[in-house]
């Protein structure tokens, strides 16, 4: 059957219809529901869905034997979100992680480097809720102020860890290293200390084990066995401590004993080099009295009186002989000072001084040698209320060391003065016929030997004043016109100074000239000492005693009443040595 012949108009209509049907077929073909979005598929894997497929042989144009199966060739790096949070891929030389305010102790040999890491998670972690009673930041006058961070105008240094942080957000990290013990020279005749340890710090993932010969990094050398490095960090911080072996001296195999800590709160260890905060009040041949600076001056506005009075004795004191070489090179380290010299005994007490009644701590150092020089360092155990690992500032504080010496000449001064006066006495006594018959001597009851003994007792009592802290009426104030070693005067002493020369000076002017001890209180000798000299010596020597009740007597001697009660400081045989001088 022949096809019907279409007119030109019908042919164009048929072509348009066929084209429309073909387009419709193509539309339904590509709009098939078998094509779905990847986001609609729930996968049990958190990684890339094609991870395993990308590592299959058909897609890799490399030798599979040369690849470690499953090796990750890309590692994302985001500020605030790094391996410290998502997990670090292990390596063969992984640095040890340190925790905020946690102490690390280790031995480091010459030429050895130990590596540590303070993670990003710890850096942006919670700060300690327990504040230091007196932190190094307060002592230093807040030289290391917390940095203002974040975009919300915070002023207290706190950081809110956000999903993604800008590069301007950082926290201050305090890394401290102290050496407690150091290697000693193999040749005992030399006292050359070993080189100082070196601290290397890196914030780059390209240098996770900082030390000699690596980069990028900063190197800080310890000074006096101590270093505290403050840095602004935005992520993991890597640091290493190197036992510097750049020396020509041969040392023993004994390593450095080292304490290491890192903190986002305050330095765990601290050395205060601006002041020794310590002054020498007085010293003799075997002891010394030192006074610590008032702690309130180091704490805010200095108005925390009750706070510091409750602490009692916040400071401690260390002392070493200047010839002790074990502390050389470690004088800025708290733990090095704690390994002290047991022969030196140090006791402490709190005294209220006259200026504002501020509590001052004083130290009485005993077991010293006459004519020797010593090095002393004021310190604080931890932060004065707590110490040890996990405590803010728990590693202790050391102030700059100060030197003092004992007075070998003090005893010699009094001995020489008494010997000189006794020499004058002997010359006069030699003019008296002592080696003769009893009837020819100056007295039937006394001899020249009795005179000599009585004079010696009296001379030692009046030539060497016995000082006391007693405030009883029978003691006498002396040298009120002479200031204390720090140049100050007691307000009460200024008023007493108008009463006469016996208050403004010492009993013997040579004491003020040669000793310059400052104000003190004297325990008076007994008047019987003077009477024994008059009774025992020849009248030709014209010895005499002041009359009882006179100013001269009251300021020079004490008496015993009829009931043998001590009304003044007197000297009685077999009496308590605290009350008399015999």
576: exposed, middle or buried (C-beta count within 10 Å: 0-12, 13-18, 19+)? exposed
Name the residue among 310, 376, 383, 329 with its Cα closest to residue 128.
383
The C-alpha atoms of residue 248 and residue 259 are separated, in whole angstroms, by 26
Q: Which two tokens stand for residue 351?
A: 């005294």
For residue range 518-576, list pLDDT tens digits in order.
778 888 888 999 999 999 999 999 999 999 888 888 888 888 654 434 444 444 332 33
* Average of per-residue pLDDT across 78-87: 47
The C-alpha atoms of residue 312 and residue 331 are separated, in whole angstroms, by 26
pLDDT at 379: 92
Confidence band for 51, pLDDT divided at 50, 70 and 90:
very low
Confidence band for 141, pLDDT divided at 50, 70 and 90:
low
Asked if residues 573 and 560 have their Cβ atoms less than 8 Å apart, the reply is: no
pLDDT at 154: 36
Q: pLDDT: is 238 or 191 the higher one?
A: 238
- Which of 108-122, 247-261, 408-422 has maximum average pLDDT? 108-122
Mean pLDDT of the residues in the chain: 76
Name the residue among 530, 526, 516, 263 with its Cα closest to residue 409.
516
How many residues are present in the chain? 582
Q: What domains, with CATH codes, occur in the chain? A: 96-154+167-270 (2.60.120.380), 272-408 (2.60.40.10), 409-554 (no CATH)
Q: pLDDT: is 214 or 37 the higher one?
A: 214
The C-alpha atoms of residue 452 and residue 470 are separated, in whole angstroms, by 32
pLDDT at 242: 96
Confidence band for 406, pLDDT divided at 50, 70 and 90:
confident
Sort strands 256-263 and 520-523 into parallel, antiparallel or unpaired.
unpaired
Asked if residues 249 and 241 have their Cβ atoms less than 8 Å apart, the reply is: no
Asked if residues 342 and 322 have their Cβ atoms less than 8 Å apart, the reply is: no
pTM over 0.75: no
> Any idea what DSSP says for residue 58?
G
Confidence band for 56, pLDDT divided at 50, 70 and 90:
very low
Asked if residues 419 and 464 have their Cβ atoms less than 8 Å apart, the reply is: no
Q: Which two tokens stand for residue 382?
A: 């931890």
> Any idea what DSSP says for residue 21?
H
Lowest mean pLDDT among 61-70, 264-273, 278-287, 548-557: 61-70
Residue 70 has pLDDT above 70, yes or no: no
> Any idea what DSSP says for residue 28?
H
pLDDT at 68: 40
What H or E segment, with its residue span, contains residue 476? strand 475-478
Asked if residues 572 and 526 have their Cβ atoms less than 8 Å apart, the reply is: yes
Confidence band for 345, pLDDT divided at 50, 70 and 90:
confident
Classify 211 as helix, strand or coil.
coil
For residue range 438-455, list pLDDT tens digits in order.
888 899 889 999 999 999
CB count in 10 Å sphere of residue 60: 11
Radius of gyration of the chain (CA): 43
pLDDT at 303: 57
CB count in 10 Å sphere of residue 47: 9
* Average of per-residue pLDDT across 80-96: 56
Question: Which residue carries 């000299």 as its tokens?
Answer: 533
Residue 60 has pLDDT above 60, yes or no: no
CA distances from 248 to 103, 192, 193, 244, 251 (A): 33, 10, 12, 12, 9
Lowest mean pLDDT among 159-168, 202-211, 259-268: 159-168
Question: Which residue carries 């036992």 as its tokens?
Answer: 243
Residue 170 has pLDDT above 80, yes or no: yes
Residue 86 has pLDDT above 50, yes or no: no
Q: Which two tokens stand for residue 542?
A: 């014209």
> Any idea what DSSP says for residue 196?
P
For residue range 144-161, list pLDDT tens digits in order.
444 333 333 333 333 333
pLDDT at 30: 66
Lowest mean pLDDT among 162-171, 331-340, 512-521: 162-171
Name the residue among 485, 296, 320 with its Cα closest to residue 401.
320
Lowest mean pLDDT among 256-265, 344-353, 373-382: 344-353
Share of the chain above pLDDT 90, in %: 32
pLDDT at 346: 86
Residue 34 has pLDDT above 90, yes or no: no
Residue 85 has pLDDT above 60, yes or no: no
What H or E segment, with its residue span, contains residue 317? strand 316-321
pLDDT at 221: 96
For residue range 357-377, list pLDDT tens digits in order.
556 788 999 988 888 899 999
Lowest mean pLDDT among 75-89, 200-214, 364-378, 497-511: 75-89
Share of the chain above pLDDT 70, in %: 67
pLDDT at 369: 87
Lowest mean pLDDT among 10-19, 73-82, 340-349, 507-516: 73-82
| Residue-wise burial string across 503-527, b where 16 or more C-beta atoms lie within 10 A, e elsewhere | bbbbbbeebbeebebbbbbbbbbbb
Residue 207 has pLDDT above 50, yes or no: yes
The C-alpha atoms of residue 447 and residue 430 are separated, in whole angstroms, by 13
For residue range 280-337, list pLDDT tens digits in order.
877 877 889 898 887 777 765 555 666 666 666 788 899 999 888 889 999 999 999 9
Q: Which two tokens stand for residue 355?
A: 């200026």
Question: Which residue carries 């090179």 as its tokens?
Answer: 329
Lowest mean pLDDT among 17-21, 30-34, 337-341, 456-460: 30-34
Q: pLDDT: is 61 or 397 the higher one?
A: 397
* Average of per-residue pLDDT across 65-92: 46
pLDDT at 59: 38
The C-alpha atoms of residue 79 and residue 76 are separated, in whole angstroms, by 10
């Amino acid at each position: 059957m022949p096809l019907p012949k279409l007119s030109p108009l019908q042919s164009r209509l048929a072509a348009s219809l066929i084209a429309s049907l073909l387009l419709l077929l193509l539309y339904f073909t590509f709009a098939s529901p078998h094509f779905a979005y990847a986001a609609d598929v729930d996968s049990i894997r958190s990684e890339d869905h094609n991870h395993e497929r990308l590592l299959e042989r058909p897609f890799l144009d490399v030798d599979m034997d040369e690849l470690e199966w499953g090796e990750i060739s890309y590692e994302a790096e985001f500020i605030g979100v790094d391996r410290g949070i998502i997990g670090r891929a292990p390596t063969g030389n992984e640095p040890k992680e340190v925790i905020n305010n946690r102490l690390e102790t280790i031995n480091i040999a010459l030429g050895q480097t130990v590596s540590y890491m303070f993670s990003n998670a710890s850096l942006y972690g919670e700060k300690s809720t327990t504040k230091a009673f007196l932190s190094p930041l307060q002592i230093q006058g807040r030289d290391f102020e917390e940095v203002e961070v974040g975009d919300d105008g915070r002023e207290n240094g706190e950081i809110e860890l956000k999903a993604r942080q800008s590069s301007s957000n950082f926290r201050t990290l305090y890394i401290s290293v102290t050496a407690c013990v150091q290697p000693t020279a193999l040749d005992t005749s030399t006292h050359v200390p070993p080189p100082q340890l070196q601290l290397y710090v890196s914030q780059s993932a390209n240098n996770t084990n900082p030390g000699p010969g690596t980069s990028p990094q900063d190197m800080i050398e310890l000074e006096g066995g101590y270093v505290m490095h403050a840095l602004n960090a935005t992520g993991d911080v890597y640091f290493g401590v190197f036992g510097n072996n750049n020396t020509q001296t041969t040392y023993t195999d004994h390593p450095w004993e080292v304490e290491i800590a890192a903190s986002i709160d305050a330095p765990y260890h601290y050395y205060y080099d601006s002041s020794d905060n310590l002054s020498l009040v007085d010293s003799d041949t075997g002891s010394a009295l030192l006074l610590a600076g008032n702690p309130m001056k180091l704490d805010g506005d200095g108005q925390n009186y009750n706070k510091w009075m409750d602490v009692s004795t916040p400071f401690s004191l260390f002392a070493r002989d200047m010839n002790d070489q074990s502390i050389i090179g470690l004088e800025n380290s708290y733990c090095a000072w704690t390994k002290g010299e047991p022969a030196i005994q140090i006791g402490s007490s709190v005294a209220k001084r006259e200026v504002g009644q501020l509590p001052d701590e004083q130290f009485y150092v005993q077991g010293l040698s006459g004519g020797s020089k010593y090095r002393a360092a004021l310190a604080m155990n931890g932060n004065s209320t707590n110490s040890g690992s996990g405590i803010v500032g728990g590693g202790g504080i050391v102030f700059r060391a100060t030197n003092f010496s004992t007075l070998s000449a003090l005893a010699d001064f009094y001995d020489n003065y008494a010997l000189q006066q006794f020499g004058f006495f002997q010359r006069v006594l030699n003019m008296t016929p002592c080696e003769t018959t009893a009837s020819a001597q100056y007295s039937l009851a006394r001899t020249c030997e009795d005179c000599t003994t009585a004079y010696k007792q009296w001379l030692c009592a009046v030539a060497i004043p016995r000082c006391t802290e007693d405030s009883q009426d029978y003691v006498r104030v002396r040298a009120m016109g002479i200031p204390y070693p720090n140049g100050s005067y007691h307000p009460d002493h200024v008023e007493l100074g108008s009463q006469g020369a016996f208050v403004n000076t010492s009993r013997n002017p040579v004491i003020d000239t040669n000793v310059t001890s400052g104000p003190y209180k004297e325990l008076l000798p007994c008047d019987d000492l003077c009477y024994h000299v008059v009774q025992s010596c020849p009248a030709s020597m014209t010895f005499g005693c002041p009359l009882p009740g006179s100013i001269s007597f009251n300021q020079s001697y004490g008496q015993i009443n009829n009931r043998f009660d001590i009304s003044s400081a007197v000297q009685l045989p077999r009496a308590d040595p605290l009350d008399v001088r015999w």
